[in-house]
Amino acid sequence: MTLPPLLKEVLFLLLLGLLLLLVFVLYLYLNQTNLIHLPNIPGRELEASPERLGFSFENVSLLTEDKVKLHGWYIPHQTPRATLLFFHGNAGNISHRLDSVSLFNSLGLSVLIIDYRGYGRSEGRPSEKGIYRDAETAWRYLREERAIPGHKILLFGRSLGGAAAAYLATKYTAMGVVLESTFTSVPDMAAELYPWLPVRWLARYHYNSGERMAAIKIPVMIIHSRHDEIIPFEHGRILYDRAGEPKRFLELSGDHNYGFLQSIDRYRDHWDDFIRSYEQETVE
């Protein structure tokens, strides 16, 4: 039977659309590592160091359980209230976080900030399991090499880094954990971006902080901006709702990357209060 020309054209367009959809789905599935981890934006080269801010610091070399060499900075405070273990977001490297390092130093914190595998001067290739290993390596460095008690270590993750901090917070007794501009999970984010695709089936990365919150037994502070254009504000609220007590929520103003600077006074005050609330409780 010969199909009418119009029907042939419709079928051709439908098949073409289906083919393009399949190609897009295959691209999403195979390219997830590069879509989630962006070490080359703006670049892997370190643009500056804490020395530019007048801080003494140490270049730290860490070897993970699977023999990947990581690079980081340890910026000591002369009279530290605690030590901050800082996990940054999915783009750039540690040199792009000097404004945060300066702020945390002003709060009386020593800081260890690392680049994940595949970022900055760290070797390897990023992956979810690998980043969790990197986080564990940084924790062990502070506990074993620096002999810092767990109750004097404050876990902090911004954006993707929140997944690393939440992971550690379920395993170790730290002073507390702060998650800033963090998503509940990669599948949750993907489902919001592509509601017409079966992204939960396609996801090879999960970073499921949402499921981990109930298992965290240390003090929690969630920070998120209602104007965050990358990670919806609701993700922060869900993380907060799923966390156990004691917990607190700080709502920022401003965008995803610079909301903390655009709300700097409120941001600093809440950090100071959070530290003060638990630094005395954990004195041995």
Of 115, 134, 188, 228, which one is the catalytic site residue?
228
Residue 273 placed within a domain: yes
| pLDDT for position 24 | 66
For residue 274, give the nearest of 253, 249, 256, 251 by alpha carbon: 249
Residue 19 placed within a domain: no
Residue 25 placed within a domain: no
Task: Return the higher-pLDDT residue of 27 and 150.
Answer: 150
Q: Is 228 a catalytic residue?
A: yes
Least confident residue range of 6-20, 184-198, 209-223, 226-240: 6-20
For residue 235, give the nearest of 180, 154, 155 by alpha carbon: 180
Q: Which helix (H) or strand (E) holds 7?
A: helix 5-30
| pLDDT for position 155 | 99
| pLDDT for position 281 | 58
Structural domain for 184, as ranges:
31-279
Residue 21 placed within a domain: no
Is it the case that residue 283 has pLDDT exceeding 50? no
| pLDDT for position 119 | 98
pTM: 0.91
Phi, psi values for residue 56, rounded to 5°: -75, 145
CATH number of domain containing 135: 3.40.50.1820
Q: Is 96 a catalytic residue?
A: no
User: What is the C-alpha to C-alpha distance for residues 148 and 140, in angstroms, rounded to an integer?
Assistant: 10
Residue 137 placed within a domain: yes
Look at the alpha carbons of 32, 260, 275, 72 in this order and tell me if their dihedral is positive or negative. positive
Which amino acid is it at 150? G
- DSSP 3-state assignment of 20? helix
Q: Is 159 a catalytic residue?
A: yes
Task: Return the higher-pLDDT residue of 152 and 23.
Answer: 152
Q: What is the pLDDT of residues 137-186, one digit of tens each?
A: 999 999 999 999 999 999 999 999 999 999 999 999 999 999 999 999 99
For residue 182, give the nearest of 168, 161, 199 by alpha carbon: 161
* For range 91-118, the mean pLDDT: 98
User: What is the C-alpha to C-alpha distance for residues 237 and 1, in angstroms, rounded to an integer?
Assistant: 59
| Residue 101 contacts residue 173 (beta carbons within 8 Å) | no
Q: Which tokens belong to 239?
A: 């993380």
| Residue 94 contacts residue 50 (beta carbons within 8 Å) | no
Q: How many domains does the chain have?
A: 1
Residue 3 placed within a domain: no
Residue 13 placed within a domain: no
Residue 4 placed within a domain: no
DSSP 8-state class, residue 141: I
Question: Measured between alpha carbons, how far apart are the two ends of the chain, in Å?
Answer: 87
| pLDDT for position 1 | 60
Of 159, 181, 185, 263, which one is the catalytic site residue?
159
Q: What is the pLDDT of residues 220-249, one digit of tens each?
A: 999 999 999 999 999 999 999 999 999 999
Q: What is the pLDDT of residues 53-100, one digit of tens each?
A: 999 999 999 999 999 999 999 999 999 999 999 999 999 999 999 999
| Residue 72 contacts residue 114 (beta carbons within 8 Å) | yes
| pLDDT for position 284 | 39
| pLDDT for position 196 | 73
Burial 81-107 (b: 16+ CB within 10 A, else e): bbbbbbbbbbbbbbbbbbebbbbbbeb
Beta strand pairing call for 82-87 and 153-158: parallel
Is it the case that residue 23 has pLDDT exceeding 80? no
Of 88, 256, 263, 270, which one is the catalytic site residue?
256
